[in-house]
Amino acid sequence: MSLTDEQRAEIEAQRAETAPTRRVTVPALEEILYRAIPVLDHGFIRVVDYMGDDGAVVQAARVSYGRGTRRVSEDAGLIRYLMRHRHTTPFEMCEIKYHVKLPIFVARQWIRHRTANVNEYSARYSILDREFYIPAPEHLAAQSAVNRQGRGTVLEGEEAAQVLDLLRTDAAQCHDHYVAMLNEGTDGTPADPARLGLARELARMNLTLNTYTQWYWKTDLHNLLHFLSLRADAHAQYEIRVYAEAMLSTLEAWVPTTFAAFRDYRLGAVSFSAAMLRVLRRMLAGEAVTQEGSGLSKREFAEMMEVLAREG
């Protein structure tokens, strides 16, 4: 990840400021507030604001005036009950805002989660930096033969080198042409006074999807947990999964009791259909159940067997 001197100075200035408040604060999250956590080659996430804590979840569930005299273990038990039984509204009482720098193609996948407030860097107003995501060789894979939206065998040797060269060359050339069309001297050379230059809102169409963009992303705790349950999953695309994994560390710092319940009941849990449960009961009774006799499709049966074979 690369931050400019100006960005580093801005972050340090933000971290140097303090303000008295009667609002709840979380020391562990305050410690990392504003800090950029590196993701991919040029990306990052950083928490820039938040509201509430584990106590706010408990307070909302009990609709009480304050923390009262209940023990921490009781609060943890309530949060685990809420998570286990999918009582989601108390988690909506907490909010968090992230500043995220990410490749455009990851942003287009991320934005499908329509339960957040988003404000993205405007390429109509500003000029995008010359920064592109280039996968590390170990993440350069062919299309999966069994999953239409997944990856298969990792490319190697000359084939991998050729793909990486194409990615770098295409991104660089497109950005060069973008700068040339703008005619604003962003490449360090003076603008040509004889040319007007293309409008920024038009020139941006030439950029590749691995160009980096930035946005502010604000959401409540319930919808953050939903996002993380999908995107921190092993089946999620690597490039968005690493952002989700970085956000997990901020979640743990912010609401550790909620994080522990989420880890146990969402990240580390699976759901079985009614038909799967019937098969599981037969297996527990000692019956050797085959796919043909299970009543499940080949894919559903294989998924069930994969889950049962998975180590905890």
Instruction: Specify whether 80 is catalytic.
Output: no
Contacts for 72-77 with beta carbons within 8 Å, 24 or more apart?
A: 75/257, 76/257, 76/260, 76/261
For residues 210 and 5, the answer to whether their CB atoms sit within 8 Å is no
Residue 93: which of 119, 67, 65, 55 has the closest Cα?
55
Helix axes 238-254, 221-231, angle to 10 degrees: 140
Structure token digits, residue 140? 């350069």
Residue where the block lists tokens 């040339």? 180
Torsion of CA 53, 54, 56, 60, to 10 degrees: 150
Half-sphere exposure of 52 (CA within 13 A, CB side): 21
Separation of alpha carbons 181 and 177, rounded Å:
6
Separation of alpha carbons 54 and 153, rounded Å:
43
Separation of alpha carbons 43 and 243, rounded Å:
9
For residues 97 and 50, the answer to whether their CB atoms sit within 8 Å is yes
Residue 172: which of 206, 137, 140 has the closest Cα?
206
Structure token digits, residue 39? 């993701």
Determine which one of 204, 231, 266, 310 is catalytic.
231
The helix/strand/coil state of 216 is strand
Residue 191: which of 202, 200, 182 has the closest Cα?
182
Put the strands of the sheet holding 212-220 in their side by side order.
37-39, 43-51, 95-103, 212-220, 117-120
Active site amino acids: 231
